[in-house]
Structure 1
Amino acid sequence: MKERTRRVFTRFLTVNTYLTFEELSKEFRISERTLRNELVLINEYLAENNYPIVTTTRGKGMKLVLSGKEPKKLLSQVGGDREKDYYRPNERFLALLLDIADTTKTTLLYEMEDKLGVSKSTLDEDMRKLRQFLKEYAISVVSLTKQGIVLQGDERSIRSMLYDVINSMTNIDHLMGYRDTDAVITFIDKFVLDYLDKRVLQVLEEQYDAVLKKSRVEINHVYRNQIILFLGVWVRRVQEGNTVSELAKVRAEVGENPVRSFVDAICTEFALYPSLNEIKYITFTIESFNPKDMNNSFDWVTAQLLAIQLIEHVEKVTRIPFSQEEEDLYEGLYKHITGLLSRTKNDLQVINPLKDTIKESYALIYNAIACFSKQIESYTRKPLSEDEIGFLTIYFSTSKSRMKQDEQYIYQAVVVCNHGISTGKLLAANLKEQFNIEIVAVLSSYELAFIDKLDVDLIFTSIPISYQKRPTLLLNPILRESDKKEIQAFLLQNKDKRRSMPNEIDATKLMQDILALIVESGGKVTRESYQRVEDTFKEYHLKFNKREIQPMLQDILKDSNVLLKQDCRDWKEVITKVGLPLVKEKVIEERYINAMIKSVEEFGAYIVVGKHLALAHARPEDGVNKLGISVMTLNEPVNFGNEENDPVKIVFCLAAVDSYSHLNVMKSLIELINDEEKLDQLIVAKDVKTFNQVLYGNKVMK
């Protein structure tokens, strides 16, 4: 049975509602005529094996009606009708690569001919393709007298290559679920599980959850599974004695933290005794997948700027008011972009198994983000992959769904999704929006035990699970039309589970409207009056969005912190001079200035965020006492080393205490970056009064 036929057949085996040619044609991207041919092949297979065939009902579509364990039995048979010793080219490629990568045994080509069941000429062609592929990683394949065929290259490159190959050829989420002995397993998955060892992956999962969850480290399940995959490769290579060079440049000393504890637990579990160099390597690699908030000053502010600009760009292109959902949307984007920047620097790429479906289902948002990709690439210096664009799209799609939700829910359910927390949230938001379903939690397959503790009646899952206590429906993570039909039928079947749920009101906008009325009526909003209104809202148990209440630029930029027409010899003196007013007012400590300079020395002139404009900053823990900002214009411009935006004529110094309290300040700076006329007027301003009029009132100087 051909692969495409197998996929179409599997679709019929995993749904309980009718499917139409139109839906399947769109889903599999083939013509209806081709689908009809596939259906003939499927029905022939069913008839030959004494099963009912797929039938068509006028006005409804096609359906395969089976009984009892027949669907599961057929699923196990699909893919199992090939001769055992026949492998497709991609399967031969992986089998050959993993055999050569295994340094515990000798790989001889004539033995591989027999193992793969191919001729010498076919294997020679496979080796040629393999050598060509490995060139991208600066890895070669050589033949040694006693060792046979082996890989030669930097150990870091070999590990990254193995991770990339396995990640691209398997569905890592499904791979983690193969502890179920009844699961249908492909040849490729079998090769990977044999190489990495299914037990090793299971232990890595358990240690990850036990150590990092106990330490309250926020986990994105997409990264979780891919970290486990990379660790599986690392454990295998270290066990075989393949280690990174002690002469290679590594990151600074790794202190005690949850990730280090996780690595120590793995070493103990597998009796590994790696060098300190190896510990640094794998700890830094894990942190690159799932970095801490504000990992460094480069990622911190860059991610904030990009998140704010991306929201504004997508809102402008799609005309969808994403600013209404800015709190959750910004937080998700900020954290994802921080990880994206960190991964890019370390040549690590996450795989998004749903990117094609996302691209098709949310084309408007996807294309808007794709148009913005050049701004992200200006920082990463590498192309933004479709996988990453797909992840970013999910945050906006989830936000869009939340804005349309009817908050009167009548079902209470849980979502199980191993494709990632963000994908699970999107599925949850779509269920809530389209079917009035209250989603209590989004879980992954290893958290099924939590369901017993939740007050839920239904389970929606994107992966096959075995759970008999609640009605369960298997769905695609990105809902298709056929999924929506299944959901409707499922809810109707379980209509006795309906509940009456109270509405919850987000009173932030209402409060801001009230304050605006006070101002319009001649009243003055003070901190005290603001607090009294807030307290009143709380008395009525209304939801209050704290992050919407942030100081504006004019609230924190004092006249004494505005320095005009200053002379500086170089960029270091510029940073020092603009930071001194904040030191004088004890907003920052002197060491913060040194940290800002060191950050530029380490990461380059990334602080030059716009034409002639620099934003000097470091991390909050580098000496910030409270939120503050200063600004300085230069009598003579100074080069910072940013070819695109040099020379710098105006510089702001930002002292932030967290990731959120200064967002309105950041928005003002972004507006300034995009307004060259206003920027030019600020640069030539001769007194603070004029400077403030331009900065806050957008007045043009005569």
Structure 2
Amino acid sequence: MKERTQRVLNRFLSVNTFLTCEDLSKEFNISERTFRNELTLINQYLAENNYPSITSVRGKGLKLELSEVDRDKLLSKVDDDRESDYYRPNERFLALLLDISDTTKTTLLFEMEEKLQVSKSTLDEDMRKLRQFLNKYGISVVSLTKQGIVLKGNERTIRSMLYDVINSMTDIDYLMGYRDIDAVNTFADQLVLDYLDASVLRIIGEHYDNVMEKSKVEINHVYRNQSILFLGIWVRRLQEGNTLSELAKVKAEIREGPVRNFVDSICMEFGLYPTINELNYTTFTIESFNPKDMNNSFDWVTAQLLAIQLIEHVEKVTGIPFSQRDEDLYEGLYKHITGLLSRAKNDLHVFNPLKDTIKESYVEIYQAVTCFKKQIEDYIKKPLSDDEIGFLTVYFSTSASQIKQKEQHVYQAVVLCNHGISTGKLLAANLKEQFNIEIVAVLSSYEIAFIDKLDVDLVFTTISIDYHRKPVLLLNPILRESDKKEIKDFLHKNKDRRRTISNKLDATKLMQDILKLIVESGGKVTQESYQKVEETFKEHHLKINTREIQPMLQDILRDSNILLKQECNDWKEAITKTAQLLVTEEVIEERYINAMIKSVEEYGAYIVVGKHLALAHARPEDGVNKLGVSVMTLKEPVNFGNPDNDPVKIVFCLAAVDSYSHLNVMKNLIELINDEEKLDQLITAQDLSTFKQVLYGSKVME
């Protein structure tokens, strides 16, 4: 049975409801005519094995009527019916690549002909395709007298290539043991498990979970799998004696923390003694898989600027009021972009197994994010992959679904998803929006035991699970039309379990509007009056997201922290002079200035965030006592080393205590970056009054 025919049959075996020809042809990306040919082949197979055919019911669709026992038997038979000695072209490619990558043995082409059971001409063509593929990585295939066929290229590039190939050609859930290893039904999966060793991947996964849980780090399933796969390749290459060149320096030093502890535990487990350069490379790479908080990244301000600008852009293109969900959306985007920037600097590609489905299901948002990619590419200096665009789209899609949700929900359920936290949240949001289902929690497969502790009526899962205490429905992570029909049928069967739940109103916007009215009516919002309004809202049980009630630039930029037309010899003096104002007022410590200068020396002029505008900053732990901002215009511009935005004519210094309290300040600065006329007027302002009027005014002065 052909692979696609097998997948179509498995789709019918996985559901007990009607499926339509139109839906399935879209799902498998084939024409309806091709799908009907597949259906003919499936029915022939079913008849040969004494099973009933797939039937068509007018107005409903197609269905395979089988008992649960027969379904399980047929699934096992379908998996076993493939000839074990037959390799498809893509599997021959993988078998060749992994055999050549294994430096503990000699690869000879005549032996590979016998192993793969192909002719010399077929293998020659396979080798030609392999060489062509490796060429884009700068890797060549050479034949040596004693070593046979070997890969020649940079070790770091070889590891990245293996990582990309395995990600794209295998089911990573199989590799990581989330599904029964004995049930692996593709040669590609088995080839990789033989190369990396399933027990090694399992041990790495156990160490990962142990270290991260002890450190109270939220585990994202997708990033977890990517980290384990990367470490599996790293361990294998080191054990074979393939190490990084000491000349290939890594752009980050080892930092103490959960990831470093994880890498150390792997080294101890497998008896590895890597160099400092290897430890730097591996620690930094694993860190880049995980969305971070600002304290772990030097470019946290860049991530914040991009997150805010991306939200504004997608809102403008789609017309969806994402600012209403600013808190959750911003947090997810900010953390993901921080990891994205780290991955780009380390030339690491993260694989998104659902990118094609996301692109198809959320066309408008995906296109809007794609239109913004140039701004991100300007920072990372390389193309933004479709995988990353897919991840960013999920955050917006989740937010869009939450915006449309009703306040009343009649079911309580849990979502079980192994495709990542953000994908699980998206599935939860869609269930909530479209089917009046209140999702109590989003869990991974290793958290099944928690279901019994939750007050839920139903379980929705993207993976097969052995759980019988509550009704369970298996779904695709991104809902298709066929899934929606199954959900309706599932809810109807379990309608006796529904209940009524009432959500509390989020009154944040109401509070903001009231405070604005006070000011517009000639009043003044003091700290005391604000606290009284907040207490009144709480007394009436109105929910407020305090992160969204934040100071504006004019609330924290004091007159004493503004310097105009100053002379500076270089960028270091410009940073120092601007920051010294905050040192005087004990907003920051002296060491904060040194940290800002060191960051620019180490990572370049990334703080020049707009034309002629620099935003000097370091991490909060480098000496910030409280939130503060200072600004200085320069009499003569200074070069910071940013070819796109030099020379710098105005310097802001930001002292932030966390990831959120300064968001409105960042939004004010983005307005400046996008308004060249206003920025020019600030730079040319000769007195404090004019400078403030331009900076805080609603319109540019004539």
Q: TM-score range by the shorter chain?
A: over 0.9
**Helix, strand or coil for the counterpart of 1:401?**
helix
Residues 13-28 of structure 1 aligned to structure 2 (within 5 Å):
13-28=13-28
Residues 552-567 of structure 1 aligned to structure 2 (within 5 Å):
552-567=552-567
Residues 323-402 of structure 1 aligned to structure 2 (within 5 Å):
323-402=323-402
| 1:506 paired residue number | 506
Residues 19-418 of structure 1 aligned to structure 2 (within 5 Å):
19-78=19-78, 80-177=80-177, 180=180, 183-250=183-250, 254-290=254-290, 292-294=292-294, 298-418=298-418
Task: Tell me the amino acid that sits aligned with residue 526 of structure 1.
Answer: T
Cα 1:173–1:500, aligned 2, differ >3 Å: closer, same or farther? same
User: Partners in 2 of 1:27 and 1:291 — Cα distance?
Assistant: 31
Contact persistence 2:177–2:202 (CA under 8 A): no
Q: Deviations over 1:284-315 (max 9, x none)?
A: 22112126422566420110000000000000
Please list every run of 5 or more consecutive structure 2 residues that lacks an aligned counterpart in the other structure: none
**Helix, strand or coil for the counterpart of 1:78?**
helix
Cα 1:159–1:535, aligned 2, differ >3 Å: closer, same or farther? same
Cα 1:589–1:334, aligned 2, differ >3 Å: closer, same or farther? same
More displaced 10-residue stretch of structure 1: 473-482 or 101-110? 101-110
Task: Tell me the amino acid that sits aligned with residue 289 of structure 1.
Answer: F
User: Partners in 2 of 1:176 and 1:566 — Cα distance?
Assistant: 59
User: Partners in 2 of 1:549 and 1:367 — Cα distance?
Assistant: 31
User: Partners in 1 of 2:363 and 2:251 — Cα distance?
Assistant: 40
Q: Deviations over 1:329-348 (max 9, x none)?
A: 00000000000010111111
Q: Deviations over 1:97-142 (max 9, x none)?
A: 1112222322222111111001112112212222222233333333
User: Partners in 2 of 1:6 and 1:199 — Cα distance?
Assistant: 29
Contact persistence 2:252–2:284 (CA under 8 A): no
Deviation at 1:643, TM superposition (A): 1.9
| 1:7 paired residue number | 7
**Helix, strand or coil for the counterpart of 2:419?**
coil
User: Partners in 1 of 2:186 and 2:608 — Cα distance?
Assistant: 51
After TM superposition, the score normalised by the length of structure 2 is: 0.96
User: Partners in 2 of 1:282 and 1:608 — Cα distance?
Assistant: 29
**Helix, strand or coil for the counterpart of 1:141?**
strand
| 1:696 paired residue number | 696
**Helix, strand or coil for the counterpart of 2:477?**
coil
More displaced 10-residue stretch of structure 1: 38-47 or 327-336? 38-47
More displaced 10-residue stretch of structure 1: 79-88 or 203-212? 79-88
| 1:592 paired residue number | 592
User: Partners in 1 of 2:381 and 2:6 — Cα distance?
Assistant: 41
| 1:666 paired residue number | 666
Contact persistence 1:10–1:75 (CA under 8 A): yes
Deviation at 1:593, TM superposition (A): 1.7
User: Partners in 2 of 1:598 and 1:412 — Cα distance?
Assistant: 52
**Helix, strand or coil for the counterpart of 1:615?**
strand
User: Partners in 1 of 2:70 and 2:473 — Cα distance?
Assistant: 18
Task: Tell me the amino acid that sits aligned with residue 311 of structure 2.
Answer: I
User: Partners in 2 of 1:239 and 1:701 — Cα distance?
Assistant: 67
User: Partners in 2 of 1:688 and 1:172 — Cα distance?
Assistant: 60
User: Partners in 1 of 2:438 and 2:683 — Cα distance?
Assistant: 53
User: Partners in 2 of 1:364 and 1:471 — Cα distance?
Assistant: 34
Task: Tell me the amino acid that sits aligned with residue 161 of structure 2.
Answer: M
More displaced 10-residue stretch of structure 1: 73-82 or 618-627? 73-82
Contact persistence 1:76–1:184 (CA under 8 A): no
User: Partners in 2 of 1:47 and 1:146 — Cα distance?
Assistant: 55
User: Partners in 1 of 2:562 and 2:273 — Cα distance?
Assistant: 56
Task: Tell me the amino acid that sits aligned with residue 245 of structure 1.
Answer: S
**Helix, strand or coil for the counterpart of 1:633?**
strand
Please list every run of 5 or more consecutive structure 1 residues that lacks an aligned counterpart in the other structure: none
**Helix, strand or coil for the counterpart of 2:649?**
strand
More displaced 10-residue stretch of structure 1: 626-635 or 242-251? 242-251
Contact persistence 2:416–2:424 (CA under 8 A): yes
User: Partners in 2 of 1:130 and 1:565 — Cα distance?
Assistant: 61
More displaced 10-residue stretch of structure 1: 292-301 or 445-454? 292-301
Deviation at 1:151, TM superposition (A): 2.4
User: Partners in 1 of 2:294 and 2:273 — Cα distance?
Assistant: 31
| 1:617 paired residue number | 617
User: Partners in 1 of 2:354 and 2:255 — Cα distance?
Assistant: 37
**Helix, strand or coil for the counterpart of 2:294?**
coil
User: Partners in 1 of 2:253 and 2:382 — Cα distance?
Assistant: 28
User: Partners in 2 of 1:669 and 1:305 — Cα distance?
Assistant: 9
Cα 1:393–1:250, aligned 2, differ >3 Å: closer, same or farther? closer
Q: RMSD over aligned Cα, in angstroms?
A: 1.9
Q: Deviations over 1:161-205 (max 9, x none)?
A: 211110111121343236525624211001011111111111121
More displaced 10-residue stretch of structure 1: 105-114 or 424-433? 105-114
Contact persistence 1:678–1:698 (CA under 8 A): no
Deviation at 1:31, TM superposition (A): 2.3
Task: Tell me the amino acid that sits aligned with residue 228 of structure 1.
Answer: I
Cα 1:244–1:643, aligned 2, differ >3 Å: closer, same or farther? closer
Deviation at 1:630, TM superposition (A): 1.1
More displaced 10-residue stretch of structure 1: 377-386 or 194-203? 194-203
Contact persistence 1:572–1:597 (CA under 8 A): yes
Task: Tell me the amino acid that sits aligned with residue 589 of structure 1.
Answer: E
| 1:518 paired residue number | 518
More displaced 10-residue stretch of structure 1: 424-433 or 66-75? 66-75
Contact persistence 1:562–1:632 (CA under 8 A): yes
More displaced 10-residue stretch of structure 1: 7-16 or 159-168? 7-16
User: Partners in 2 of 1:520 and 1:614 — Cα distance?
Assistant: 33
Cα 1:130–1:632, aligned 2, differ >3 Å: closer, same or farther? same
2:579 is aligned with 1:579? yes
Task: Tell me the amino acid that sits aligned with residue 72 of structure 1.
Answer: D
2:627 is aligned with 1:631? no
**Helix, strand or coil for the counterpart of 2:149?**
strand
Contact persistence 1:306–1:376 (CA under 8 A): yes
Cα 1:602–1:275, aligned 2, differ >3 Å: closer, same or farther? closer
Deviation at 1:497, TM superposition (A): 1.7
2:485 is aligned with 1:493? no
Deviation at 1:51, TM superposition (A): 0.7
User: Partners in 2 of 1:63 and 1:635 — Cα distance?
Assistant: 77
User: Partners in 1 of 2:558 and 2:129 — Cα distance?
Assistant: 65
**Helix, strand or coil for the counterpart of 1:69?**
helix
Deviation at 1:554, TM superposition (A): 0.3
More displaced 10-residue stretch of structure 1: 342-351 or 168-177? 168-177
Deviation at 1:628, TM superposition (A): 0.9
Contact persistence 1:298–1:606 (CA under 8 A): no
More displaced 10-residue stretch of structure 1: 248-257 or 198-207? 248-257
User: Partners in 2 of 1:374 and 1:71 — Cα distance?
Assistant: 49
Cα 1:249–1:521, aligned 2, differ >3 Å: closer, same or farther? closer
Report the count of equivalent residues. Answer: 702
**Helix, strand or coil for the counterpart of 1:137?**
coil
User: Partners in 2 of 1:344 and 1:227 — Cα distance?
Assistant: 16
